[in-house]
Structures are given as structure tokens and as C-alpha cells.
Structure 1
Amino acid sequence: MTTTRTPVVFIHGLWLHATSWSPWLDLFREAGYEPIAPGWPGEPPTVTEARDEPELVANAGIDDVTAHFAKIIHSLDASPIVIGHSFGGLITEKLLGQGIGVAGVAIDPAQIRGVLILPLAQLRAALPALGNPANKHKAVSLTAKEFRYGFGNAVSQDESNALFEQWTIPSPALPLFQAAAANLVPHSQAQVNTENETRGPLLLISGVEDHLAPDATTRSTLKQYRGSAAVTELAQFAGRGHSLVIDSGWRDVADATLTWLTAHGL
């Protein structure tokens, strides 16, 4: 008798390539899941190609990315667990709110509509894109220094530089502009159906030292779900920044995710 392996769809965020999930794919496959990590719309299959052709991903908005992953999910043989980091976390929340996926894990998720807090560290980390309105419909790259502040602030300079060289790619600035204006736009693409009573369980994970998606915004995101009886939980990782899914401590986060999924029978 063949046992069906539960699919898992990993969704990366801005400035990282889909292949950055590779260690997670190996771990989840060993744990009995069937994991995949598709790229964003137009994203080339390698880091090098993505750096060489940034225009391929320019102007992809939140709804474009959500629809892209929804299509991938609907093509699977079974409804998957969805795990996203940063803007991938926001996409995870949107998909789960739409009833897509059996469960979701949003790691250092980008800010959704309704979250009003805006720490100065978050504003500074987003300035490489938001600092120039002309970037809105372009793909924007980070410098090693900008990556250090936004992603690698909780690891050593050497590790931050190595992660920057290995995984960073240009990413569309449009989602950042959409999230930044979310509370000023009635039908913002950063809107999530947080009141869905029938969705699967959701785990929010926060790196307490994160600059790009601060712990305070993740805790505020949790409060947006108070109108739903569906399971919504928060796990906080002290001393961890936005690089927590790719740096030397990634296994701690991955193991906690697996433990949570097992606890919910997933």
C-alpha cells in the first residue's frame, strides 16, 4: 500500500532566490513530505540568471504572485501545506485566507493591511526600494551593506556577506509599495481575509531582532486574526533576524516548524 506524501509549497520573499529553500526541501523530504519551492512569476531557475535578467520579475504585484502560486497549488494532486518567508509569508496568509492550502506557516511575514505599526528599522530596511518612487515598476537589488542591515544584522559580517553572495537576486519593488500604502487603499492587495473560520491552522514565526519584518509587526499581525476561531499561533526566535531561514541557524526554525505541523496532525 502506497502512502500519499503531503505536499509542501515553499514561497520565498523579496531579494532571495527560490533555491535558497534547498536545505528545507531536503529536510522536509526526509521527514516524509513532498516539498517544492517554485520561483515567483518570471523568475529564472538560477541565481546567476536572475541577476543577469532583472527585468523578468519587474512589476509583479502581490495579487500577481498570489495567483501564480494558487495556480501551482491547484495543479497538485493534494492540497499542500504552504510555508512562506517575508513577502512569501504574506502570500501564504492570503492563500490560506482564500481557503487554499491545508495549513500555513508565515515566517517574518510582510505587513498586511490593518497593521498600523511602522518601526523605524523597518522603514530604513525598505528604503532601497521605497526611497525612489521611480522604483515602483522596476526590479531592485540590494548592496551587501543594505542586505546586512535588512537581513544579516543578527549574524556575523562574514556570514551576512556569504549569504548575500550566495542567494540574493533583484526583486520587484511593487509589493513593497503596495504594502506601504495598504492602510490608505480601500482594496489593497495587501488585504488578507483574517476572519476566515474554515481555513487551516496558521503559524506566524518572528525573528525578534528582525529589521525588515520586525517582531512588533508580526505580533500586530497576530491580533488581526482575533476575529477568527481558526487556529493562529505565534512562535518567536530570540536573537534572530530576517535571514533566519537561510543562515546557520535555519535548522532551529525548520525543526520548530516540523514540530508544530506534527502537533496539528499535518
Structure 2
Amino acid sequence: MSTRIIRFRDWARPVPPARREVLSATPESDEGKPPVLFVPGFGHGAWAFAEYWLEHAASRGFPAHAVSLRGHGGSGPGPKATLRAYSHDVVQVAASLPRQAVLVGQGAGALVVERALARYPARAAVLAAPVLGGWATLATALRRNPAGTLPAVFGGRLRMGRRQLFSREVPEATAKAYTARLGRASTRAQWQLIAHRAAEPPVGDPPVLVVGSPDDRVVPASALTKAARRYGGAPLLFPGMGHDLMLDARWREPVDAILDWLDKGATM
């Protein structure tokens, strides 16, 4: 399998620079474990991982970082951002870390991570509740969340609420506070998500783990299985949880499973 070292488009039409918000949590002592870079999905910022997962990963000895894609969270604006620009943000942050990083993408952030893997030799990768694009993704969204999806089809904001993102275990006030923080991806990125083609193969063939919930109202269980098969495995499932695994009431279960997987040899 050949890997393209130089891409003409990247050279001829470089991605415009943008200020990137990166939130971090570091272990009390350096155990030599690889840094983990968390990539949130559309509408979310680094705050979604700073709530629980960053500090928990650091308590397990992993230097933990979360990036807000341009136009999200505290990063600079990106009204015309493309998936290419989002993956560029991830690659640039990963390349700035002192050691080869593990990339963890959630939701549409998993699609961004897939694209970043074709340009960055990650130690390993995790696709959490991955929204990997295509017309099937749109069909599922229209069926399960028609009122929130139709505006996005015509260039508006994709709206997701408690029912799409969280399990019933999340208190109403907590879910409302989280959804109030949601922003939006660019219109171009939303359209590219729908018309997305399969990403290029990862550089260096890193191990890839897929995690999710069979009760996710955004990503059907069949899509989790399909994503995992692409990387030669099976998805690790957490019944009863919602799409936003990192913010759900049982947030500790999936992140511990991810870190256990890394500890057991995925990054050796």
C-alpha cells in the first residue's frame, strides 16, 4: 500500500490559519504513556471532554488534551470551514505534542479523526459513537430527528436535544445546560458530512477501536458494527447510554474501557 507524502491541494491551497483552543490535564508524574487528544463532534467544544474525561485520563497516567475545532468552543471563527480544515486542526495540535498521540474522536469528530489519520501517524485511534457520514447518516437523522435535521439540509443549523444526545439517567437540568452550550459546524462541513467519501487509509496502520451504545439515537448499532469491521474488529458497546458518551451519567465506563485498551497493548 502506498502513502502519498505530498498532496498537491495541500501545497497549492493551504488551509487558512486559525486560533485553536486546547484544554489539557496532566498526570501527577510522567509514566511514559502516550498523550491522548480528544476531538469533539459538530457543535461541541473541548469543554465536552473537560467535564469528566480529561481529568480522569490524567488520573490514569495519560497526558490528556481536547481541541475545539475552528468555529467551535473557544477556537477562532470558521464560518467556511471544511472537513479538511477540521482535520488540519487535529493534525496540527497532535504534531505539537511531545510524543506520538492517540486520537479519540466522538460523533462527527470521529470522521475528522479518520481524515487526520491519513496525515498523522497516530499511536492508536478510537472512534466513539462515530458519525462517519454518507447518505445513510442523513436518512437516519431525518427518521430519528426530523425537526432538528431538516434545517441543516437547507443550510441551517443541525439541532440536537436531550433525546438525541443523552440517556434518561442524565438529569433534565444537566442535559439542558449541556445543550445550551452547543454551537454549530459550518454549512460546508455539514454538507461534506452528507456527501462524504471513505477516508484514505491511516498512515502506519495504527490499531483502531470503535465504541458506542446500541441505544444511541444518532448512530444505529449497525453503523457501529460497520465502522469496526472496517478496522478488523467489533465495536465495544455500552447499552443504556446516549450519543454523548463523555457527558452521560455513566461516563466513566467507556473512558475506562478506552484507557484499559490502551494499557493492554494497543500503544505498545
TM-score range, shorter chain: 0.7 to 0.9
The unaligned stretches of length 5 or more in structure 1 are 183-187, 227-231
- TM (normalized to structure 2)? 0.76
Q: Name the counterpart of 2:251.
A: 250
> Which sections of structure 2, spanning at least 5 residues, go unmatched?
1-28
Aligned residues: 236
CA gap of 1:128–1:7, structure 2 versus 1, over 3 A, is: same
| Aligned partner of 2:61 among 21, 29, 32 | 32
**What is the aligned partner in structure 2 of residue 175 from structure 1?**
189
- How big is the shift at 1:217? 1.3
Q: Which residue of 2 aligns with 1:78?
A: 99
Q: Tell me the distance in 2 between the aligned counterparts of 1:12 and 1:173.
A: 17
Change (3 A) 1:59 1:203: same
Q: Are residues 156 and 37 of structure 1, via their aligned partners in 2, closer, same or farther at CA, if it must alter by over 3 Å? A: closer
CA drift of 1:104 comes to 0.4
Q: Which residue pairs with 1:185 in the alignment?
A: none
Q: Provide closer, same or farther for how the CA distance between residues 79 and 130 of structure 1 changes in structure 2, counting only shifts above 3 A.
A: farther
Between the aligned partners of 1:25 and 1:11, the Cα distance in structure 2 is 12
Distance in 1 separating the partners of 2:30 and 2:60:
16
The CA deviation at 1:250 is 0.7
C-alpha displacement at 1:259, in angstroms?
1.1
Relative to structure 1, is the Cα distance of residues 88 and 44 closer, same or farther in structure 2, using a 3 angstrom cutoff? closer
Deviation of residue 200 (structure 1)?
Answer: 1.2
Which residue is 1:93 aligned to?
Answer: 114
**Does the CA contact (< 8 Å) of 2:228 and 2:235 recur in 1?**
yes
Q: Which amino acid aligns with 1:222?
A: A
Give the whole-Å Cα distance in 1 for the aligned partners of 2:37 and 2:112: 11
Q: CA RMSD in A?
A: 2.9
Equivalent residue letter for 1:43: H
SS of equivalent residue, structure 2 residue 242 = coil
1:161 paired to 2:176? yes
Query: Is the CA contact (8 Å cut-off) linking 2:91 and 2:119 kept in structure 1?
Result: no
Residue 68 of structure 2 aligns to a residue whose secondary structure is: coil
Shift of 1:127: 5.7
Q: CA deviation at 1:130?
A: 4.8
Q: How far, CA to CA, are the matches of 1:150 and 1:7 in structure 2?
A: 30
Q: Distance in 1 between the 2:219 and 2:119 partners? A: 23
Q: In 2, Cα distance between the equivalents of 1:141 and 1:197? A: 32
1:104 counterpart SS class: strand
Q: Structure 1 residues 122 and 61, CA, compared in 2 at 3 Å: closer, same or farther?
A: same
AA matched with 1:9: L
Render the CA deviation track for 1:15-41: whole Å, top value 9, x for unaligned. 222111111110111111111112111
**Mapped pair 1:221 → 2:227:** yes
Distance change in 2, residues 1:11/1:156 (3 Å): closer
